[in-house]
Structure 1
Amino acid sequence: MDIATKRSPRAVPPTYTPSLVFTHGKHYRDQTFCTISDGCYHIRSIPEMRRMRSIASCYGWLILNSYYSSNECYLFNPISLEKILLPPLMHGINMGVLTHPPSDPNCVVLLASSNTNSCIFCRIGDKKWMEHTLVFKNGKFKPVPKDVVSCKGKIYLFFFEGMAAVDVHDAFLSLKLHDVKDPKLSLPYVACSSSFRVESCGEIFKVSRIHLGVSAKIILTLEVFKLDLSKMDWVKVESLGDRVFLLGESCTSLSSTELGVKGNCIYFTFRGCTRLFKFDMDDGTITVTLPCGRKFSYWEGPFWVVPNCEPQGISFSAPPTSPDCIVFGHKRSSGKYVNVSVYHTGEDDWWEYCIVNEVPIEFLTANCNPVFYDGVFCCLGKDGKLGCFHSKEEDVYEWRVLPVPAIISWSPSMLYSVLQSSEWQFLVEYNGEILSVSVGYVGQHVRVYKLDQSKMRWVGVTSLGDKVLFLSRITSILVPAGLKEKENRIYFPRFHGKDNVFYSLSSGNYHCFGSKHSRQDWIDTSGNMESTWIQCKK
C-alpha cells in the first residue's frame, strides 16, 4: 500500500497539550480546547465527543458518558482517535478511573457515583459490568463514594469520612477500610471548603479549596496535603516543586517543564464557569483568566483533557546538531491508526500524522525504535512487517507497508492478543543492512533475521560473525566485537546479580560475566528495557 497525501483536519488530533475543554452548541456537538501553555483555543467537532460528558481523564484516555443515554459509555483517545466500547451502564455514574493504560492486560475500569452505595468495574473486552455493593458493618461512616484515585495500579475509594483500599479480583472487589481523618486547615472557623484528590509521582494528595464564608465561588486560599500511607494520615505540603495540579471533575498532575508553565501552581475552575483560576503556592496569589474569548450557547463543563503524547519509538535522520536533522517518532498504534510525529530542525512545532490502517489491519507498530535507512524512516510491525515513512514536504508525506512476509501470522480476530503480546522486538540498521530480532516470553526463543532486499523477505540469521548486538527498547546497535571470543553475542540491559547478561548465538543460552551462570531464559535475572546503550565515537 502506498499513500501520498496531505494532513486531514479530521485525522489530526484536536490538541497535543493539556487543555481545558468546553462542550457546547446544539446537542453539545462542538468542543473548544483551551491550551493553558500558550493561551490559544481550538474549536473542533469530534464525532466521538459529541453529546458526551467526560467522567475522567486517565493515561491519555477519556471515560465518556452520554448526556442523552445514561447507559452509553466508552473510552476515547483524543490523540489516536481510538474508541474502546464499554458494557452498557447499570446506573448513573459521576466518577471513574483506569488502573493502567487500556493496552495493559491488567487494566481495570472502575466507575462509581456519589448518589449510590455501589461501584462497578470491568476489564477491556468484558461484555458486562460487575457490581460491588458498599456495605460497611462497622458503621463508622456511610459508604457513599466521594472520590476515586488510582495510584501505582491500586484503587483508593474516598468517602465523606474515611477511605478504602481496593483490590480487584477476577469477579469481585475486596476493600480494606481505613479511618483517615480530614486534615486540619490552618484558617480558623472555615465554614465552607471543597476538596480534590490528585495522584502525583506515585503519591496521593488532597487539595482543600477554602471559601469565603459560605460563598461557593469566592476563594480565600488553597492548602495541600499528602497521604502518608504508613500512618494513614494527611501531612501538609508547602511546595509542589516542579509539579502543576489541574483540578476539576477529574484531577491530574503534570511537570511544569513539559507543560511550559510556572511550577508550584494549581489550576482550577468552577462548573458552569468559563474562567480559569491559578493559585501560586510561592506567594499565595490567585490569578483569574478567561481561557476562551468567545461566548457559548448550550455549553457544559469544563473538563481537562491530558493527552499522552510520548513517542513509543524515536529516530534521527542525522546528528541532532545537523541543520538538516529530521526527528521521527511513532506512538503506540491501535487497530485503526498509525500515529507518527515529525520535527524538522528550525521549526517551532512537530508535524503530527494519523494514518488510517487498511482493513484487514495492515500494520501495528512494535515497541521499539524505528531506523533511518536510504532517506526513509522504517518502523517494525508486531508481525515483522516494515512500515516506511517519507516526509516529502511540510504537509505531504508518503507511507508504505513493504510487501515483506510476516514473521508472525495472525488474523483480525487475534488483534487484542497481538496488542498484548509479551514478545520483545528490535530493529537495527548497519551499513545498509536491516536486521530484526524477536525475543519470546521471559527471554526464550531468540531469533535474528536479516532483510533480503532483492526478494523483500526476512532471512533467518544463525551467526553475527565478528559482530555484537546491543539491544534495548530505546537504542539497538550492531558493532564489531573488537576482541576474539566476544563476537556473535547479543547483550541486553539485564543482570544476574551484578553480572551483565548476554545471549550467545553459538550456544543458544544466556551467560554472564564473572560466573558460570547459563540458562535458556531470563529467570533469576533483573533488568530495565527502558535503559539505553551509548556508543562513544573517537
Structure 2
Amino acid sequence: MFGQKHPRPHGTNAEDDEATKRGDDETAKDPLFFYSISRRRSVCKIVDDLRDHLYWTTPGGWLLMAHPGSRLTFLWNPFTRQRIGLPPDTEKFLTRNPVRCAFSHEPTDPACVVLVVNRADTVLWYCRPGAGAAAEWSEHGYYQADAGGLGAHHGRDDLIHGMSLVTAAGGKFYASLLGATVLTLEFSPAGPAFTETPIAEQSCHPMYRAWSLHLLESRGELFSVSLYHPLMERCDKVAQIVVRRLNLPARAWVEVDAIGDRAFLVDAARFGASVGAEEAGLKGNCVYYLRRGEKGLYVYDQ
C-alpha cells in the first residue's frame, strides 16, 4: 500500500498539461509512503520509476503508467520493475477522465486485453500489450437504447456505476448491476461483446439496509465483499461483512463461510484484490479493509 506526499497524487486526473508539468516538477523528488501490512510499519522512499508519470493501480499489482508529456503508456510491475509497452494515449483519455483499469490475463500472456473504463460515461478503451508502436487504443461506447443494446433494459447511470467496478476473472470482465444482473464482457477479433445474466435477488440483511459492494477475483473465480453499514449516512462505519462467490450457471451469488488460505484486500474506493496469505505474510481466511475517511487498516476474520 502506498501514497504520495502531495495534494494531487499521480494516478488522479490532470486538469491540464501545465498543471501536470508543475506538479511533476514540484514532486519529482518527493518520497512515497509505503505501508507494510505484514510488518505493520511505514516506509518512506523515493521511487525513480514513478517520477514524472501518472499511474493507476490494478488488482494484479501492476500499475498503468502514463507520461503526461510524451503520452507514452505502459504497464509496470513495481515488484520486478518489468515494463510492457502499450499504445500512446494520443487522445488524452487517461488524463481527461476518471478511469478504472483491469486486464483479462497476466500482462505477459499473449491473450491479455487491457481495459480502461470511464467512470463518468458509457465509454471504454482497450488494447493488447506489446502490440507494437503502430498499435492504438480502441474506443467503444456501450450504451445503446435499441432493442439489442444495454440501454434497452438498464439506465445510463446504473450502467456507469456497475462498469466503474468492472473486475476480471477467468479471462473475462464482469460488472454487477444493482445486484440483479451480471454483465460479462468478452473480447474477440470482432470487438467487445456483452452478455447479460439475471441473478437471483440477494436477501437483505434484516438489520442493515446500506452496504458497499466490492468485486475481486480469486483463483479464477469472481467474489463480492459486501460491507454493511449501520446507517445510510454513516458509510464510514462497518457493522458486518459478507463474502459471496458468483455461481454463474446457477445465476446466484452464494455466501461463503471461509476463503481458506487466501486474504482479501478492499479499500474505500471499491478496489479489491486476493493474495496468498502465507506468501504475503498475512493471516489467511481474512478480509483486510479500509474505512472511508480513516487511515486505519481493519481485519475481519472469516
Separation in 1, partners of 2:223, 2:201: 12
Aligned to 1:225, what secondary structure does the other structure show?
Answer: strand
- Cα deviation for residue 124 of structure 1 reads 1.2
Match of 1:426 in 2: none
Question: What is the correspondence of 1:388-403 to structure 2 with a 5 Å cutoff?
Answer: none
- Cα deviation for residue 218 of structure 1 reads 1.3
Match of 1:148 in 2: 166
Separation in 1, partners of 2:136, 2:2: 30
- Cα deviation for residue 271 of structure 1 reads 5.5
1:105 aligned residue (93, 103, 110)? 110
User: 2:255 is matched by which residue type in structure 1?
Assistant: K
Match of 1:54 in 2: 56
Question: What is the correspondence of 1:462-473 to structure 2 with a 5 Å cutoff?
Answer: none
Match of 1:244 in 2: 263
- Cα deviation for residue 77 of structure 1 reads 0.9
- 8 Å CA contact retained: 2:125, 2:137: yes
- 8 Å CA contact retained: 1:211, 1:219: yes
User: 1:256 is matched by which residue type in structure 2?
Assistant: A
Match of 1:417 in 2: none
Structure richer in strand, relative to its length:
1
Match of 2:237 in 1: 218
Separation in 1, partners of 2:252, 2:166: 17
Separation in 1, partners of 2:113, 2:256: 31
- Does residue 1:131 correspond to 2:139, yes or no? yes
Match of 2:4 in 1: 23
- Does residue 1:44 correspond to 2:49, yes or no? no
Match of 1:208 in 2: 226
Cα deviation 1:120-177 (Å, max 9, x = unaligned): 1001134321112112153244331131121121222334462221121225101111
TM-score (norm 2): 0.76
Match of 2:295 in 1: 274
Match of 1:74 in 2: 74
Question: What is the correspondence of 1:249-398 to structure 2 with a 5 Å cutoff?
Answer: 249=269, 250-270=271-291, 273-281=294-302
1:195 aligned residue (213, 223, 228)? 213
- 8 Å CA contact retained: 1:55, 1:65: no
- 8 Å CA contact retained: 1:209, 1:222: yes
- Cα deviation for residue 38 of structure 1 reads 1.6
Give the number of aligned pairs. Answer: 259
- 8 Å CA contact retained: 1:23, 1:30: yes
User: 2:3 is matched by which residue type in structure 1?
Assistant: F
- 8 Å CA contact retained: 2:237, 2:291: no
- 8 Å CA contact retained: 1:163, 1:179: yes
Cα deviation 1:483-503 (Å, max 9, x = unaligned): xxxxxxxxxxxxxxxxxxxxx
Aligned to 1:188, what secondary structure does the other structure show?
Answer: coil
- 8 Å CA contact retained: 2:35, 2:41: yes
User: 2:142 is matched by which residue type in structure 1?
Assistant: L
Q: Residues 72 and 194 from structure 1, CA distance in 2 versus in 1: closer, same or farther, beyond 3 angstroms?
A: farther
**Percent sequence identity over aligned pairs:** 25
Separation in 2, partners of 1:83, 1:157: 28
- Cα deviation for residue 72 of structure 1 reads 6.4
Cα deviation 1:430-489 (Å, max 9, x = unaligned): xxxxxxxxxxxxxxxxxxxxxxxxxxxxxxxxxxxxxxxxxxxxxxxxxxxxxxxxxxxx
- 8 Å CA contact retained: 1:244, 1:254: yes
Aligned to 1:219, what secondary structure does the other structure show?
Answer: coil
Aligned to 1:57, what secondary structure does the other structure show?
Answer: coil
- Cα deviation for residue 265 of structure 1 reads 0.9
- 8 Å CA contact retained: 2:236, 2:292: no
- Cα deviation for residue 112 of structure 1 reads 0.4
- 8 Å CA contact retained: 1:147, 1:159: no
- Cα deviation for residue 181 of structure 1 reads 5.2
Q: Residues 195 and 72 from structure 1, CA distance in 2 versus in 1: closer, same or farther, beyond 3 angstroms?
A: farther
Match of 2:64 in 1: 63
Separation in 1, partners of 2:117, 2:57: 10
- 8 Å CA contact retained: 1:141, 1:162: no
- 8 Å CA contact retained: 2:99, 2:117: yes
Aligned to 1:48, what secondary structure does the other structure show?
Answer: helix
Which piece of structure 1 moves more, 195-204 or 140-149?
Answer: 140-149
Q: Residues 218 and 137 from structure 1, CA distance in 2 versus in 1: closer, same or farther, beyond 3 angstroms?
A: closer
User: 1:155 is matched by which residue type in structure 2?
Assistant: F
Please tell me whether Structure 1 or Structure 2 has the larger radius of gyration of its CA atoms.
1
- 8 Å CA contact retained: 2:263, 2:277: yes
User: 1:35 is matched by which residue type in structure 2?
Assistant: S
The Cα RMSD (Å) is: 2.6
- 8 Å CA contact retained: 2:56, 2:101: no
Match of 1:496 in 2: none
User: 2:74 is matched by which residue type in structure 1?
Assistant: Y
Match of 1:169 in 2: 188
- Cα deviation for residue 180 of structure 1 reads 2.9
Match of 1:117 in 2: 122
Separation in 2, partners of 1:123, 1:41: 35
Cα deviation 1:298-343 (Å, max 9, x = unaligned): xxxxxxxxxxxxxxxxxxxxxxxxxxxxxxxxxxxxxxxxxxxxxx
- Cα deviation for residue 93 of structure 1 reads 3.9
- Cα deviation for residue 230 of structure 1 reads 0.5
- The gaps in structure 1 that reach 5 residues or longer are 1-19, 282-538
Separation in 2, partners of 1:102, 1:217: 35
